Structures are given as structure tokens and as C-alpha cells.
Structure 1
Amino acid sequence: MVDLLLVDLSRLQFALTALYHFLFVPLTLGLSILIAMMETVYVMTRRPIWRDMTKFWGVLFGINFALGVATGITMEFQFGMNWAFYSHYVGDVFGAPLAIEGLMAFFLEATFVGLFFFGWDRLSARAHLVVTWLMALGTNFSALWILVANGWMQNPVGSAFNVDTMRMEVTDFLAVIMNPVAQAKFVHTVSAGYVCAAAFVLGVSSWYMLKGRHVALAKRSFVIASAFGLASTLSVIVLGDESGYALTDNQKMKLAAIEAMWKTEPPPADFTAFGIPDLKERVTRYAVHIPWAMGLIGTRSLDKPIEGIEELVAKAEVRIRNGILAYDALERIKADRTDQAAREAFARSSADLGYALLLKRFVADPREASEAQIKEASWTTVPHVPSLFFTFRIMVLCAFVLLAVFAVAFWHTMREEEAPRWLFRMAIIAMPLPWIAIEFGWFVAEVGRQPWIIDGVLPTFLATSELGVYNLFLTIAGFTLLYGVLAVIEVKLMLAAIRKGPDISREVEAMFATTRAPARPLAVQPAE
């Protein structure tokens, strides 16, 4: 039987390292673009203040980039260490985008990061600008291939199970790359990174404005962050809607769990703004609905239903029964590779093999499963509804709060009037919100896929390595301690760099000598 404690600890370790790694990734994605934009203005105007801005935010980018690389390497090694059967079973598919990420995007990114920092006095202004944009593109390409791999886990297109190798193999690599789930995840995740960087720049700039320090740099950074943040937040919201639409076609159970929709509602379905899911009674209590909203988000129509959890569980039961036929045919093929009848039987029901594997949680041979075990296995296809329901809504709330902050900041910059001090304080308070939304977003994406590590193909509990529980406890403690130390180092380095401030050139110092420490923060003017 499956050791569920071993599975839970393996999942916990990967979740801790992945969530910690993704504290750094979004800021790297967004800061790289903002830095490239700032340097573009410098090359166009030759104003030293924009060069100083590029260098200052570049230092913070560099600190964050280094920690992101260190934690990312550890995470990728876990596929071989903690998830050996997963790597064996789907490595021919999953390994390709992961290898491309390492060989192309990461090396491209790392090479141009080095040129960015050490090429200021060795390259012409235009050549250095090209380097900076290539660094930004490399950073975003790195995210692309990771999300192609993750998108395939959510929607395993362009692949098939090979009865001769007993593994999943690529049948159409272009389909893997153009996977609609992967594409939606990429643009949504990258936009979230842009929001994260914009909130960071806006918050630090607001702190300078409140302190009356480096006002020339802070004013311009505030302007560019407010505009970039507003556009990025709107993009995240629109693309989040697109992700919801993609779930309707590819991950119906995840969508139903996010909505705590226990039964199929007449179209167009309402969106549940608030409620309390009751797992025992399988109802959502105290629900507050927004009419038609979920139908429009999920189906782009007023006449198509969104299936509820109970109906999807019934469909899963049918697929489990059909999957047992595939499992039986596969066992016959293992016994006799020349059994053509078994191969034909497997071909007819191979799409449901993964559902039969869900029974291995209860019985060694799925063909021996009882009726009660089949029904119980069908209900394991439902992820934890309350956690998905609440984390999704907190994520959405964070997005709309950030939209309001960026919108007010942008409005003040466009009116060329003095920004109120409360706005600066609000920008500082809002700085953690992008990270909260992003981490909760990944929680929704990954927990919502359970019980699958590859949706509909391989259950999570079958994918782990044969590690002892003691080893996992020891490594989790070690990673927690190591990452705790790295977190302290990261925060101290960031705070030290922010307190020190930018290396303002003499020309800029002279130009803005009279505005170094105003009694009240100056108006946020449009960038020169």
C-alpha cells in the first residue's frame, strides 16, 4: 500500500522550496523590464538621472537574481531526488522544456546579467542598452519554458503512453509548446511579476519621498512604476479571466472546486463572491452571488453550463471503470508483448488508464477493487474545496486593491499635482500584496490539480521516490534552516542598498541640490 505520509512530506518539501523560490522570480521578471525601460529613456535623453536610476534598481535586481538562482537549482534537483518515478514516467516529455530552459534561457539570462553589471564602462550606451533588453528577454524566456513544463502537467497534450517503453512520450512537441493552458499561465504569471516589481518600485520610491531623500530619482521612479503597475494589474485581471476560461475546457474539477459549485447550475452560472463551503453536507453556506458572472467568465456565453462537483465525480467514476479495462489490457501486454488483442483493447481505453491508477491508493491491483473502493476513488478527484475557495478570493482581492493604488498614483502623476502623503504610505503598505497574491495563485494552481501530478495521467501518490520518512524530515529541516538564513541575507542586503540609496552623479546632485530634503514631499511630476 502507498505510504501517504511519505507522499505528503515529499509534497511539502517541494511546495516549500517552490514557494520560496517564487518569492524572487516575479521581482526579477518585472525589474528587468523596468530597468530596460529606464535605460532606454537615458539613451534617448542622455539625462544622468536615468542612468543613476538604472544602476540603483539594477543593484536590487542583482541581489534578488542571485537568490532566485540559488533556490531554483535546488528545486529542479528534487525532480530526480524526491520524484524519481515521475521523472522516469514522464521525463521524455517534461524534461525537454526543462532542458531548454536551462540550456538556452538561463544561460542567455545569466550571460547578459554579467554584461549588464560589468559593461557600463566597457560598452557604448547603445550597446549596453541592447544588453539590458536581452537580459530582460532572457529572464522572461526562462519563465516561458518553466511554464510550458508546468502547463503540460495541468493539460498533458502532445503526448501519449507507449506500451513498449511503459512511459509517456512526446507525439507533438509543438502542441506541448502551444498548449493553451501553458500560454495562459505564461502571460498571467509574467504580468503578475510586472505588478510585483511595480509595487516594489512604487513602495521604495514612496519611502524616499516621505523621507525627503533622493527625491529626483524617487519622483521619476514613482511615475514609471504607477503607469507600469496600472497597465500590468489590468493585464493580470484580464488574463486571469482568460485562465478561468481555459479551466472550463481543461480542468473542470479545479474550476468547480474554486467556486465551491457542488451541483451544476442552470446557465449562466453565478459567481460566488463569498461563502463558507461545508465539506460534510457538500453545500456552500451564506453564499453571496454575483449573477451571471461565472457563466461569462467560464464559458463566454449565457447558455452553456459549468458542471458541478457531483456531476464531475460521476464522470470520474465512469472513467475509473473504463481505466480498469486499460489496466487489464496493459497487464496482458506485459505478460505477452505479441498479444495483439490486448493492444487493441488498450488503445480503446488508454485515455482512462490514469483513473484506474487512482485505485492503487486502496488496493494493489485495480482489477480487484470493490464497488465501494471505486466510488471512494472517484471522490478523491475532488481537491480540497475550502482552501481553494478562500485562497482564490484573497488573490483576487489583492489584485483589486493594487489596481486602486496604482490608479490613484497614476491619476496624481497625470494631473501634475502634489501627491498626498497618505498615498505614499498606502503604496508602502501595499508592497507585500503582489507576493501574497502570487503565492496564493500558485497554491490554487497546484492544489487545484490534486490528486494528479499529471492531470488525468499520473496520481501524485504514485510519483514519489522510495525515500524514508526520516530522510524527508531531515531534508525539510535542512532546507528550512538554509532558506531561513538566505532570507535574512536577502532582506539585509536589500534594506542596506535601499538605505544607502542611489549613486547620484555630481551633475544630478547639483541640479537637484535644492530639493534634497523638502519639508513636504514634492509633487510627482511626469518623467522628463
Structure 2
Amino acid sequence: MNTLMLARWQFGITTVYHFFFVPLTIGLSALIAILQTRWLRTRDERLLRSVKFFGKLFLINFALGVATGIVQEFQFGMDWSAYSRFVGDVFGAPLAIEGLLAFFLESTFLGLWIFGWGRLPERVHLACIWLVSIGTMLSAYFILAANAWMQHPVGYRIDPVTNRAVLTDIVAVLTNSTAVIAFFHTLTAALLYGGMLLVGVSAWHLARGKFTDVLRPALRLGLVASIVATAGLLVTGDIDGKIMTTQQPMKMAAAEALYTSSKPASFSLFTIGSLDGGKEEFSVRVPGVLSFLATGSFSGKVDGIDDVQALEASRFGPGSYKPVIPVTYWSFRLMIGTGLLAGLVALVGLWWTRRGRLPQRRWFWRICTWSIALPILASSFGWIFTEMGRQPWAVYGVLTTREGVSLVSPGEVLTSLIVLSALYGVLAVVEVGLMLKYAKAGPPEVEPPAKAGDSEPRLSFAY
């Protein structure tokens, strides 16, 4: 294995691992803010206990997300220094804004929220968690703007002297159509993350008949949020697919393993191809669906892999511009399938828990608990498809991945890959252990909250 392959493996492993925490931070912070808002309006102690309970899980996830995210920044210098030199003037701008504005916003107000119980006026304290939620969303936007520039580069020029990309229009970078739709798609995915966590944790306790008065409302909120999120994912995913077809036709063709241009183009539910992914041997297809996903018309034309390859070879020079077809094909389907399955679980759960009912079927609660994994899998497969489908480009049409790798030895990259993988393995044990410990403990008992200005704030509200 050469430096390029090892660097790709390292970045892929650390990125997918880090992204386990990001959507949950975004989605859970918004749901906690909703629960606290409802508590402040109704003074229902059950809602306050839910806020305290899920707040602990949120804080554990936030801490691990920060720790793993730092590694991402270092890798641009460690493994991708040529990429960083070439696009740093452009790529660094949204990342700098994220660090200086959004991250400081969310981290500052998170501290005020943690230590502000009984010390801040209640409405000010509530505003803190809402600002944390807004901060997480802003962080996501600026990071997605940087990634979207790799998918669809805009607002730049190549300096003929230094042969580097130079930022010419920051507004174009921040309003990139790819970034805008990716942002809304990510927000809905994050809401599904948070919703299914509420569902899964609540289901585990409800199956044992514990904390019913507190966790049934949390379960219902999670179910509703998950259904809304699934609907949002379908809409934003459809728009994203059409933008992708225009900007990266090879990625859409690779998502379907469509080798020959078709009008109309069918969507395969299942395909068996050759071992090298070079041709289709057998498939089960639905007529016209791929045309609709790509063009908005059931009779639209979709360019095939072979035709796009010929076009890109004529534009960019000799070479293969095909990604690994089996990876793009199956990651695309697994993304859609696991996301829809999460929505189906939520829809059935909402129906079975209507009008104060709680099902007595243990298998139902078991499915709800294990469904926590579904949005995690859907997002992971989605990012694998997004990044693998762009290959061999680091910046589409501008810089190949091979050109962006650092001039370091395979041994050096392998060493860091092993160390980081081992470290992340330890962090995974810590994360899962802490989440299980506090999730199984259930909602805490709480006292009526102390008001701001009391000389002895009640310590039972401290985390």
C-alpha cells in the first residue's frame, strides 16, 4: 500500500468516526432546547427531568466530538500538505470563520447553560441552549461550505505565478448551491439522529416499565422529530441529486452503476456486477426512477459512466475518472435504505403510541432501541458515497487526490494510521461506556429550580 492509499484510509476512518458525533450534537441540542422551552411554558416537572437526562448525553457526545474533530484539522498538514498549499487560501476561509465565530458561540453559551442553572434568569438560561443549537448549525454550515467547494469549486482563480487557488469571491463560496442544499440535508439528518436517540433510550426504559411518566413524552417528541426529518431528507435528497447530476455527472452514474447513457433510465433495487465492478451481470430495476431522481422527469436522459469518462478524458486529459463503482452503488442504496427504515420505525411507533397507549410487545421496544443505529449508518454511508463518488478528484476538475497528498513515506502514514485507529478505538469504548451508563441511569430526580439571585443555588442542578 502506497502513501496515497494509506492517507485516504486514515482520513476516511477518522472522518466517518468524527461524524458519528456531529449530527447528534446538532439534532440533540435542538430537541433539548424544545424540551426546555416547553418546560418553561408549562412548568411540567417531567419535561425538566427530560432536559437534565438528555442534557447529560448531549454533553458526553459534544466532548468526544470536539476531541475527534481536532484531529481532522491536523491531517491537512500531515497527509495532505500539497492540497493545503494549493487551496488553503480558499478552503481555509470558511474553516476559519467556523472556528472564530460558530464554535466559540456554541462553546461559550454551552458553558453558560451548564453552570447557569439557578444563577441566570430562566429566559436567559433558555436563550443559552438555543444559541448553542444555532452555533452547532452555523458550524455545520461553514464546514459544509468548505466541503462543497471541493465538490463544486466557485469564487476562485488560479494564480499563474504560484499555481495556487486564490479566493476571489467569499460570498460565492458561502452561497454555493452545493453548500446550501447539503446544509439542509445535514440538518434533517441531524434531526433524525437526535429523534432516534430519544426514541431508542426512552424505549429501553419503557420496555421495563420504568420512568413512564417522564419518557413517554420524550418518546413521542423523538418519533415526531424523526418523521419530520425523514420527510425533509426525501425532499432535500431529491434536490441534491439533481444538483449533483448537473455538477458531477460521473457521481450520479456511479451511484446507479449505469455504464450506458439511457433515456429513460431505470433505478436498480439490486445489482450483481463483475468482480472489478466493470459491468452489470444481473439487476432488479424500477423503470424511470433514476431519470426522475436525476432530472425531475421520468423520461429524462441520464449519462452513463462510459460516456462521462470519455467526456472528462477529453476535458482533463488521459486517465480514469471512474470512482470505485461497487462502493458508490451500495453506499448510495444503504444510505437511502437505512434512512427510510428509521422513518418507518418512527411512523409505526407514533401510531402504536397514540392516545396514551404503550405497546406491550417487547420486540417493538427492542426494535426502537436498536434503531438508534439507523441514522448513524445512513449518514456514514452518505458521506462515504459523497467523498468516494468524487474520486479521483480532491477538488472536482481542479486537483486530483493523488496531487494533493503529502511527500511522506508509507511507513510514516501507516504509523499515524495505527496510532489514531487505536486511540479512536479507546475513545469509542469510553463514549459507549459513558452513554450506556447515564442512559441506563434514567432521568434524575429534580427539585424546583432556584431562581437567579438566590444566595444558595441548589447543587442538584449542576452537571
The alignment's TM-score, normalised by the length of structure 1, stands at: 0.82
Structure 1 position 436, deviation (Å): 1.0
Distance 2:123 2:149 in 1: 39
Regions of 4+ moved over 6 Å: none
Say yes or no: does 1:449 pair with 2:390.
yes
Q: 2:42 aligns with which of 10, 20, 45?
A: 45
Residue identity matched to 1:43: L
Which structure 2 residues correspond to residues 81-160 of structure 1 after superposition, within 5 A? Answer: 81-160=78-157
Say yes or no: does 1:165 pair with 2:162.
yes
Distance 1:420 1:250 in 2: 50
Distance 1:395 1:126 in 2: 40
Question: 3-state DSSP class of the match of 1:272?
Answer: strand
Q: Deviations over 1:327-382 (max 9, x none)?
A: xxxxxxxxxxxxxxxxxxxxxxxxxxxx24xxxxxxxxxxxxxxxxx3xx1xx200
Distance 1:483 1:300 in 2: 42
Structure 1 position 501, deviation (Å): 1.8
Q: 2:426 aligns with which of 485, 488, 492?
A: 485
Say yes or no: does 1:284 pair with 2:280.
yes
* Aligned counterpart, 2:339: 399
Q: Deviations over 1:177-207 (max 9, x none)?
A: 1111111211111211111111111011001
Structure 1 position 277, deviation (Å): 2.7
Q: 1:463 aligns with which of 392, 400, 404?
A: 404
Say yes or no: does 1:271 pair with 2:267.
yes
Structure 1 position 284, deviation (Å): 1.7
Residue identity matched to 2:49: D
Question: 3-state DSSP class of the match of 1:211?
Answer: coil
* Aligned counterpart, 1:239: 236
Structure 1 position 278, deviation (Å): 2.7
Distance 2:230 2:156 in 1: 35
Distance 2:72 2:353 in 1: 41
Structure 1 position 493, deviation (Å): 1.0
Structure 1 position 457, deviation (Å): 0.5
Which structure 2 residues correspond to residues 12-23 of structure 1 after superposition, within 5 A? Answer: 12-23=9-20
Say yes or no: does 1:313 pair with 2:309.
yes
Q: Deviations over 1:232-280 (max 9, x none)?
A: 11111221111111111101001000100000012x3211111123366
Distance 2:183 2:85 in 1: 26
Q: Deviations over 1:426-480 (max 9, x none)?
A: 1012121111111111100000000000011001011011111111111111111
Equivalent residues of 1:49, 1:504 under 8 A apart? no
Question: 3-state DSSP class of the match of 1:289?
Answer: strand
Residue identity matched to 2:91: F
* Aligned counterpart, 2:327: 387
Alignment size in residue pairs:
448
Which structure 1 residue ranges, 5 or more long, are not aligned? 320-354, 357-373, 509-528
Residue identity matched to 2:156: S
Question: 3-state DSSP class of the match of 1:242?
Answer: helix
Distance 1:23 1:304 in 2: 36
Residue identity matched to 1:457: V
Structure 1 position 285, deviation (Å): 2.1
Structure 1 position 26, deviation (Å): 1.3
* Aligned counterpart, 1:409: 349
Distance 1:34 1:103 in 2: 25
Residue identity matched to 2:106: E
Distance 1:206 1:95 in 2: 43
* Aligned counterpart, 2:54: 57
Distance 2:153 2:273 in 1: 30
Equivalent residues of 2:292, 2:299 under 8 A apart? no
* Aligned counterpart, 1:323: none
Q: 1:418 aligns with which of 345, 348, 358?
A: 358
Equivalent residues of 1:49, 1:505 under 8 A apart? no
Distance 1:174 1:507 in 2: 48
Structure 1 position 80, deviation (Å): 1.5
Say yes or no: does 1:216 pair with 2:208.
no
Structure 1 position 506, deviation (Å): 5.6
Say yes or no: does 1:174 pair with 2:171.
yes
Which structure 2 residue ranges, 5 or more long, are not aligned? 450-463
Distance 1:276 1:183 in 2: 35
Question: 3-state DSSP class of the match of 2:271?
Answer: strand
Residue identity matched to 1:82: D
Residues 467, 40 of structure 1: alpha-carbon distance in 2 compared, 3 angstrom cutoff: same
Structure 1 position 482, deviation (Å): 1.0
Structure 1 position 31, deviation (Å): 0.4
Residues 279, 241 of structure 1: alpha-carbon distance in 2 compared, 3 angstrom cutoff: farther
Distance 1:220 1:456 in 2: 50
Residues 79, 280 of structure 1: alpha-carbon distance in 2 compared, 3 angstrom cutoff: closer
Residue identity matched to 1:297: L
Residue identity matched to 1:460: T
Distance 1:223 1:173 in 2: 42
Equivalent residues of 2:277, 2:326 under 8 A apart? no
Q: Deviations over 1:366-402 (max 9, x none)?
A: xxxxxxxx3xx1xx20001111111211111111211
Q: Deviations over 1:153-187 (max 9, x none)?
A: 01111112121331111222211111111112111
Q: 1:301 aligns with which of 297, 300, 305?
A: 297
* Aligned counterpart, 1:348: none
Structure 1 position 500, deviation (Å): 1.9
Residue identity matched to 1:63: I
CA RMSD of superposed structures (Å): 1.6
Please, which moves more after superposition, 389-398 or 252-261? 389-398
Distance 1:426 1:279 in 2: 35
Say yes or no: does 1:256 pair with 2:197.
no
